[in-house]
């Protein structure tokens, strides 16, 4: 009895820490996004742009994203993966908080990492924030890992099995996530 009360108290405390850490990350990332064109932050924006990263905004990137998803089968695998990932977030909505915190942090550093040829910095920042806070909030790496496994697993079947190309997530992880959701939204909108 004492053991369950103590462990329950520790779980509650880690959830509070996870929520507070996510809140802090969301606030700092939001400020960084709003102030990226203002000194002193704009002094750190990459002046040398890698040839693999020519797109500064999602609006510029999205046509390229669609060009990487020309086959209907590839898009269908993405629809399945994105839908299942979103469904898993609906089933376990607490994971939306670290997903938003990690996504905002990754989005905030895009202008500062465009000189790098891959999206590894963005992806690592997102994954660190998402997994640490997801574990603190859910107390389970399995629950935390599931939305990513579903989303990327099915999407990459489409890329490697049918489209025979490298997923755009390797270069633009944040914009690619936005692209997955936008492509699903466009498909649903076409039906109505």
* 43 occurs within a structural domain: no
* 45 occurs within a structural domain: no
For 72-85, the pLDDT digits (tens) are 999 999 999 999 99
- According to the model, what pLDDT value does residue 12 have? 78
* Average pLDDT of the segment spanning 138-143: 95
Residue found by looking up tokens 């574990």 in the block: 135
* 158 occurs within a structural domain: yes
* 12 occurs within a structural domain: yes
For the record, the structure tokens of 85 come out as: 């990932």
Domains: count for the chain: 1
* Average pLDDT of the segment spanning 107-129: 96
* 48 occurs within a structural domain: no
Residue closest to 172 by CA, chosen among 130, 117, 127, 133: 117
Under the banding of pLDDT at 50, 70 and 90, the label for residue 5 is very low
Question: Left (φ > 0), alpha (ψ -120 to 50) or beta: where does 39 sit?
Answer: beta
CA 55: distance to chain centroid?
Answer: 18
In terms of pTM, does the model score above 0.95?
no
Is residue 149 scored above 50 in pLDDT? Answer: yes
* 117 occurs within a structural domain: yes
* 118 occurs within a structural domain: yes
Cβ proximity of 99 and 89 under 8 Å: yes
CA dihedral 164, 169, 170, 175 (to 10 degrees): 140
Q: For residue 124, what are the contacts with CB-CB under 8 A and spacing of at least 6?
A: none
Is residue 119 scored above 80 in pLDDT? Answer: yes
Which residues constitute the domain of residue 84? 2-38+57-191
* 91 occurs within a structural domain: yes
- According to the model, what pLDDT value does residue 6 have? 45
């Amino acid at each position: 009895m004492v053991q369950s009360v103590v462990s329950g108290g520790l779980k509650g405390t880690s959830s509070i820490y996870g929520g507070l850490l996510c809140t802090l990350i969301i606030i700092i990332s939001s400020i960084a996004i709003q102030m990226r064109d203002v000194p002193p932050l704009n002094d750190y924006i990459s002046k040398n742009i890698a040839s693999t990263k020519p797109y500064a905004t999602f609006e510029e990137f999205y046509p390229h994203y669609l060009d990487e998803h020309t086959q209907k089968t590839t898009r269908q695998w993405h629809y399945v993966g994105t839908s299942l990932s979103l469904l898993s977030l609906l089933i376990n909505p607490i994971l939306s908080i670290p997903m938003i915190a990690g996504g905002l942090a990754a989005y905030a550093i895009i202008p500062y990492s465009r000189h790098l040829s891959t999206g590894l910095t963005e992806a690592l920042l997102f994954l660190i924030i998402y997994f640490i806070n997801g574990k603190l909030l859910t107390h389970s790496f399995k629950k935390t890992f599931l939305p990513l496994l579903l989303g990327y697993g099915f999407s990459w079947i489409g890329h490697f099995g049918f489209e025979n190309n490298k997923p755009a997530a390797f270069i633009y992880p944040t914009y690619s996530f936005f692209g997955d959701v936008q492509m699903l939204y466009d498909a649903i909108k076409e039906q109505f």
